[in-house]
Amino acid sequence: MKTIIVTHRLTLREITQSDYPALAAIFQDASTMYAYEGVFSDAELQARIDWMLGSYRKHGYGHWAVVLKSSGELIGVAGIAWTEVEGTLVPEIGYHFHHAHWHRGYATEAALACKAYAFDKLGLKEIFSVVRSSNIAAKNVAIRNGMLIRQRIIRHYRGVDMPHFVLSATNPPHLLRMDDFFTTQAAAYDEYMLHNVDGFSQACAELARHIPSGTKTLLDLGCGTGLELAEIFRLHPDIRVTGIDLTQAMLDKLSEKYGDRQITLICASYIDYDFGVGQYDCIISLETMHHFTHAEKRALYANIRQALKPGGLYVEGDYMVETQAEEDRLFAEKEKLRVGQNIPDGELYHFDTPCTTENQIQLLIAAGFANAKAVWRRGSTSIVVAKKNFAESSA
C-alpha cells in the first residue's frame, strides 16, 4: 500500500481491493450517503473501487484511503480526480467520511493536504470541488479549503435533479475585484448565506428588531439581494429604504423581490459615497463591513454618523473574530496577496478581514458616535448598535 500524504492526524494512501469491507462501511451507510439519495449496491461499490484503481494507473493519483495514524482505522476517502463540469474536465478534490468521524476536522485536514499536493506536487493552477447544494458540511469544507463558489449547476443522479455548487481555488491565490466577486456569487448568494453562514438567518431577524418603531427613513449599506429586508418590511411596512450596493446583479435580484416597496436602489461603492447630512432615522449594514481597514472604517463610520438625524441609530451585523491574533493574521494575509498582485492602495478587492467586536466598537466611538455596544452574537456573526447624540448637529 503506497503512502501518498501524511498530515498531523491522518495518512492518505492508495486503496487496494482488500479495503472493500472498510469502504462498504462508508459507501453502504445510509447516514454517510444521504447526499447521494441512497447507498451504493455491491456492484456500484466495486465499480467505484475499480475507478479509483484505474485513476492511479492512468494519472498516478486519485481518491485515496484516509487512515487514522493513531489507530490505523480507514475512516474515509479523499483525493484528486477529474470530473466534468458543463462539458469541461476539471481536477476535483473529493472526500467521503464515515458519519462516525464527522465534526472532528478530518475532512478539512485531508482536503487541505490534497490542495497542497495538487499545487505543489502536480503543479495544477486551479483545483475544484463540486458539492451538492444541500450538503452544507461538504460546502463548508471546500470553503475552509480556500475555495470560492464559481457557478451553480444541475447534476442528474438516480433520477433526481441535484443542484450543485462548483467551487475552486487558484495557485497562487488570486484576489478578485469586489464587484467582479459578487457578480459571480449573485446566482447562489441567497442559498449560500442562508444555509452556510452560521448565524446569518437569525441575524436578519435580530437586526430588524433593533430598528426603532417609528423609523421612516432607512439606509441599507451593501444591501446585496436584500435578504435582511424581508423582516424589516414585515415589522415596518411603510418604511422608505435607500439601498446601496456595488454590484448591479445583486440589486437586480433585490428589485425582483421588493419592487412594490418604497425603495430606492443605488449601484455604487458606499465606502466613499456621499450619503448626505441628517437624512436618515436609521442606517444598517449586514455582513458587508469585513473587507476594510481600520482607517477606511473610521472614515466610513464618520460619514454614516453625519448622515443620521440626531439620535439616529446605526445597526451593524457582521462577521467578527474573537481574538486579535486572528484579526492580525487575516489582515497580514490580505496585505501579502495585495502586494503580490500589485493592487494599488484604495482599490476594492474581495478578501475577508473581520475585526474583533471590541475593535469595531472602538472604531465607532472614534468616529464620533455617542455610544456603541454589542447586543447579539451567534456563530461568527455579531450585531453592534451605535447611537448619534441627540444634542449633536447633523454636520
Can you give the three-state secondary structure of 18-51, one letter per residue? Answer: HHHHHHHHHHCCCCCCHHHCCCCCHHHHHHHHHH
Q: What is the CATH number of domain 3-171?
A: 3.40.630.30
Confidence of residue 393 (pLDDT cuts 50, 70, 90): low
Q: Give the C-alpha separation, 46 to 50, whole Å.
A: 6
Q: To the nearest whole number, what is the mean pLDDT of the chain?
A: 92
Q: What is the mean pLDDT of residues 159-163?
A: 89
Phi, psi of 156 (to 5 degrees): -105, 120
Q: What is the pTM of this model?
A: 0.69
Q: Hey, what's the cell of 314?
A: 446605526
* Dihedral Cα 348, 353, 358, 362, nearest 10 deg: -20
Q: Tell me which of 17-26, 174-183, 286-295 is least confident.
A: 174-183
**Which residue in this structure is represented by grid cell 439616529?**
312
Sequence ranges of the chain with CATH classification 3.40.50.150: 200-387
pLDDT in tens, 202-237: 999 999 999 999 999 999 999 999 999 999 999 999
The answer to whether 95 and 111 are in contact (CB under 8 A) is yes
CA 136 vs. chain centroid, Å, equals: 11
- What is the side-by-side strand order in the sheet with 280-286? 263-267, 240-245, 217-221, 280-286, 308-319, 381-387, 371-378
Name the H helices within 226-310: 229-235, 248-258, 294-307
Q: Quick one: fold of 200-387? A: Rossmann fold (3.40.50)
Q: Give the C-alpha separation, 204 to 201, whole Å.
A: 5
Q: How many CB atoms lie within 10 A of CB 256?
A: 10
Sequence ranges of the chain with CATH classification 3.40.630.30: 3-171
